[in-house]
Chain A
């Protein structure tokens, strides 16, 4: 017999109270969003009874707002719902394509970006895209809310910076302006339903003359957590993003990778393809940035 417990508060205050009281009493709690990691864990690797705190009924985690300055994406919105929003998909195509890669249609009906980040897998597909887009994670706790950059949110395999009495409300991203483009590419041995062997997200901003004035590149599945490769983005800044510039950015990705060898690929292979993926994702992001320069106001 299971001795799990379940709560689905509809207001943030009671949800945080419950988390604090559990943290104090030592009662084990786990936050539940789409459950596509949590319920698999409950059935396989971690059957220990615990209180499951469903955060999907909190308005904050389901909120999506596209403002003139920034965009807020609630942590628990399923990826299928996000990808049905054409404005979001045109503003942040790379972030949305990373969410669209998670699992099957059925998995996307549940899987959230918040869950993907909090699960803190080295291969979580949305994490590089969040990092490349300088997403700020909005965290609520008993002592108020705080913001943490996506690049600092995950601290190790399966470990996030969240304290036991905190939960993630969502992400804030600066609203992209004219000349912006982002992209995410991963390599998997199949065409669907697999875990990344390596993944790269690139974001960039071009000025009116087509010169890159900002770029951020993040890599996944090639270290114990997804990493921002600052030097890779810097290789593109000030250039018109020629193949040779993307090649240099790719080399920086390889240099920053510290992959392991497993059944999906050797460390050597991962280090090599991360550079290829960087070049290709960079080319896609660049194409989108050019289209945005030429196109109507987004």
Chain B
């Protein structure tokens, strides 16, 4: 069986790799490139732990074949932080404790960042629908939603947005 030669860009870095035709992009990232930030939960498109961007569009990397990455741009959790430090979405997840075991977190952060790039001021139901394909067994989602709202607020502050009030309230101590 022949291995295929694939040229692809991952987080802006060009890679040339050999892959099996039946291998997934998730396996390519983790097993061939050592980028193990992207997680495997279900392997069947249901949990979103494997979320990456493919030409800037969110996809489940478990449902992309490695050879499909030829000539495409991949974005993974490893590319979210910049030289100046964590991305605001990452920082808000930490500050607002939006993670527990962390298995879902890379996928949630990649998905949330992509949401805020498209819709800078999403309301709560937009956030919940956008992230409906990212399952989390630990947090119950509430803190995740608050973290995304807080990130949106910091990324583009505006005084007259409805959810701004909601998110300020939710940042008060909850004990």
> Does B83 touch A at the CB level, under 8 Å?
no
Question: Which partner residue on chain B sits nearest A56 by CB separation?
Answer: B68
CB-based contact A8/B45 at 8 Å: no
Q: A2-B21, A6-B21, A103-B45 are in contact. Are A193 and B132 (CB under 8 A)?
A: yes
A5 touches B21 (CB 8 A): yes
B2 to chain A, nearest CB (A): 8
Q: A52–B4 Cα gap in the complex (Å)?
A: 13
Q: Is A298 engaged at the interface, CB distance under 8 Å to the other chain?
A: no
Interface residues of A in 128-182 (CB under 8 A from B): none
- A49–B48 Cα gap in the complex (Å)? 26
Number of interface residues of B (CB under 8 A): 34
B76 at interface, CB cutoff 8 A: no
The answer to the question of B58 belonging to the interface, with a C-beta cut-off of 8 Å to chain A, is: yes
- If the complex has contacts A2-B22, A42-B22, A43-B44, are A104 and B133 also in contact, measured as CB distance less than 8 A? yes
Contacts of A56 on B, CB cut-off 8 Å?
Answer: 68
B20–A2 contact, CB under 8 A? Answer: yes
A106 and B44 in contact, given A2-B22, A8-B70 (Cβ under 8 angstroms) = no
State whether the Cβ of A192 lies closer than 8 Å to any Cβ in chain B: yes
Residue on B with the closest CB to A6? B21
Which residues of A have CB within 8 Å of B57? 78, 80-81, 109
Binding site for B on A (CB under 8 A): 1-6, 8, 32, 34-36, 39-40, 42-44, 49, 52, 54, 56, 78, 80-81, 103-107, 109-110, 192-193
Q: How far is the CA of A40 from the CA of B67 in the complex (A)?
A: 17
Q: Is the CB of B133 within 8 A of A193?
A: yes
Q: Is the CB of A8 within 8 A of B68?
A: yes
Q: Is B133 touching A4 in the complex (CB atoms < 8 A)?
A: no
- With a cutoff of 8 Å between Cβ atoms, the chain A residues found around residue B152 in the complex are none
A39 to B44, CA, bound (A): 8
- Given the known interface contacts A80-B57, A103-B133, A106-B111, the answer about A6 and B63 at a Cβ–Cβ threshold of 8 Å is no
How far is it, in angstroms, between the C-alpha of A110 and the C-alpha of B64 when the chains are bound? 9
The answer to whether B45 touches A106 (Cβ under 8 A) is: yes
- Please tell me if the beta carbons of A109 and B59 are within 8 angstroms of each other in the complex: yes
Check B111 against A52 for contact (C-beta < 8 Å): no
Contacts of A34 in B (CB 8 A): 63
A193 to B46, CA, bound (A): 8
CB atoms of B63 and A104 under 8 A apart: no
CA distance A3 to B68 in the complex (A): 17
**Given A40-B44, A43-B43, A4-B130 contact (CB < 8 Å):** no
- The answer to whether A39 touches B63, judged by C-beta atoms less than 8 angstroms apart, is yes
> In the bound complex, what is the Cα–Cα distance between A181 and B142 (angstroms)?
38
Q: Give chain B residues whose Cβ lies under 8 Å from the Cβ of A1.
A: 1, 20
Pairwise interchain contact A3-B1, C-beta atoms closer than 8 A: yes
- What residues of chain B lie closer than 8 Å to A78, measured between beta carbons? 57
User: Which of A2, A54, A110 touches B23 (beta carbons < 8 Å)?
Assistant: A2
Name B60's closest neighbour in chain A (CB-CB). Answer: A106
Q: Interface centre among B20, B57, B63, by most A CB within 10 Å?
A: B63
Interface contacts beyond A1-B20, A106-B60, A192-B129: sample of 7 additional A-B pairs, CB < 8 Å, sorted by A: A4-B20, A5-B2, A6-B67, A8-B70, A36-B63, A56-B68, A105-B58
20 A-B pairs whose Cβ atoms sit less than 8 Å apart in the complex: A2-B20, A3-B22, A4-B20, A5-B21, A8-B70, A39-B45, A39-B65, A40-B44, A43-B62, A78-B57, A80-B58, A81-B57, A104-B134, A105-B58, A106-B111, A107-B133, A109-B54, A110-B64, A193-B46, A193-B132
Check: B24 CB closer than 8 A to any chain A CB.
yes
> How far, in angstroms, from A32 to B130 measured CA to CA in the complex?
25
What is the bound-complex CA distance between A236 and B108, given in angstroms? 46
Whether A8 pairs with B132 at a CB distance below 8 angstroms is no
Smallest beta-carbon distance A231→chain B, Å? 36
Structural contact, A49 and B65, CB atoms closer than 8 A: no
> Which 9 residue pairs of A and B lie closest in terms of their CB atoms, listed nearest first?
A104-B133, A4-B22, A2-B22, A6-B21, A192-B132, A109-B57, A4-B21, A109-B59, A6-B67
Interface flag for B51 (CB, 8 Å): yes
Residues of B within 8 A of A6 (CB): 4, 21-22, 65, 67
Measured between beta carbons, the chain B residues less than 8 angstroms from A110 are 59-60, 63-64
